[in-house]
Amino acid sequence: MATFVKTRDIPIAGAHTLPQEFFISPELFAQERERIFARRWVCIGRESKIASKGDYFLHTIGADSIIVLRDQSGEIRAHYNSCRHRGARMCETASGKFSETIQCPYHAWTYALDGRLVGAQTSDSIPGFDKKDFHLVSVAIASWEGFLFINQDPTPEPFEEAFASLLGRFERFNLPGLTVARTIEYDVKANWKLVFQNYSECYHCSPVHPQLTKITPSNSGENDLFEGPFLGGYMVMNEQHESLTMSGEACGVTVGELDEADMRRVYYYSIFPNMLLSLHPDYVMAHYITPVAPDRSLITCEWLFHPDSVRDETWDVEDGIAFWDLTNRQDWHVCEISQAGIQSRGYRPGPYSSRESLSVMFDREVLNALGRDGAGGGDID
């Protein structure tokens, strides 16, 4: 059973915010791309995007385009979108359906959906050529609770080991059985770490989110994951409210088999390095963050509901979506003004409050991943 503690009781040893270079340096941003986003399990959205055999979508991160698909046997696979002949991108459409093969438009090299090269015109004239040597370069892929994750490391940590602390934790929320009711894309002019740091604390909630604090007081709740790559816990709703919606009422049927305590809580978890998961009694919200530049992040937000909530028009799913679209935009604004201020010559790392302990732990995970144990003169330790 999870052990919960108050945010203020998590020791942070006088930690300060990260130095300026972590938010503006192209060189450090490139290190993050290589050491974090190319080596950790990164969430790329819902498995329902490739529900049928042959379905595919493209996932882009940095210079890499990756084809994510379900092959003819029903297995989920991921391949780099790069032909083994001259390297041309084989797919240009963001999503679609393959019949049985993938064909490069340049010289018509053709691959089975499992990545095997099955056709290469005039290849018999190439000395020693063997199709078996030219399989598409694949990417490790895993499914968890209806979400897909990829890992670009050639020898990745097994998903079951990396996610051991999360396996089974959210089963009662019926995540695989939920359906996406709405997706909104946000282009945020801020470093990806500012988004995580903001999500991990409610010290800012009173001045920034009056609608949110009306339903969940900013000092309510406790955390059960407070070190390592996965962080979070819950906040408590006031008795007169049923969910985080514009009306304060539930906007859908209960998503799973939740007990009385769950019906009064909203759970928030950051899943390093690019996913934020918010679980309400009547819906679930997921953010997927893609770093684009030191000062720019693309954020995809999806709202997941029980299918009955979407089918039954008596439920107003937009009540919850509108609430979080407003709250998201409030968050993105403060992230953007933080980015702007950090870029100033006047920026100096400032002290974290005891109410920002999860932000401190997030910083430590970043430093650990980069092999930097004491950035900021030891203030992080």
Q: Pull the structure tokens for residue 287.
A: 């953010």
Q: Are 309 and 230 in a shared domain?
A: yes
pLDDT of residue 121: 86
CATH number at 58 reads: 2.102.10.10
Model confidence over 262-280: pLDDT tens digits? Answer: 999 999 999 999 999 999 9
Average pLDDT over the chain reads: 95
Q: Are 50 and 32 in a shared domain?
A: no
**Number of structural domains found in the chain:** 2
Mean pLDDT to the nearest integer, 64-70: 98
CATH number at 14 reads: 3.90.380.10
Q: Which amino acid, 191?
A: N
User: Does residue 253 form part of some domain?
Assistant: yes
User: Does residue 121 form part of some domain?
Assistant: yes
Q: Are 352 and 286 in a shared domain?
A: yes
Q: Are 187 and 288 in a shared domain?
A: yes
Q: Are 154 and 223 in a shared domain?
A: no
User: Does residue 296 form part of some domain?
Assistant: yes
Confidence of residue 1 (pLDDT cuts 50, 70, 90): low
Res. 381: pLDDT tops 60:
no
Confidence of residue 374 (pLDDT cuts 50, 70, 90): low
- pTM here is 0.95
Q: Find out whether the peptide bond into 273 is cis, omega within 30 degrees of 0.
A: yes
Q: Which amino acid, 140?
A: A
- Residue numbers of the domain that contains 116: 42-160
Q: Are 30 and 107 in a shared domain?
A: no
Q: Are 152 and 254 in a shared domain?
A: no
Q: Are 221 and 342 in a shared domain?
A: yes
Model confidence over 94-109: pLDDT tens digits? Answer: 999 999 999 999 999 9
Q: Are 117 and 250 in a shared domain?
A: no
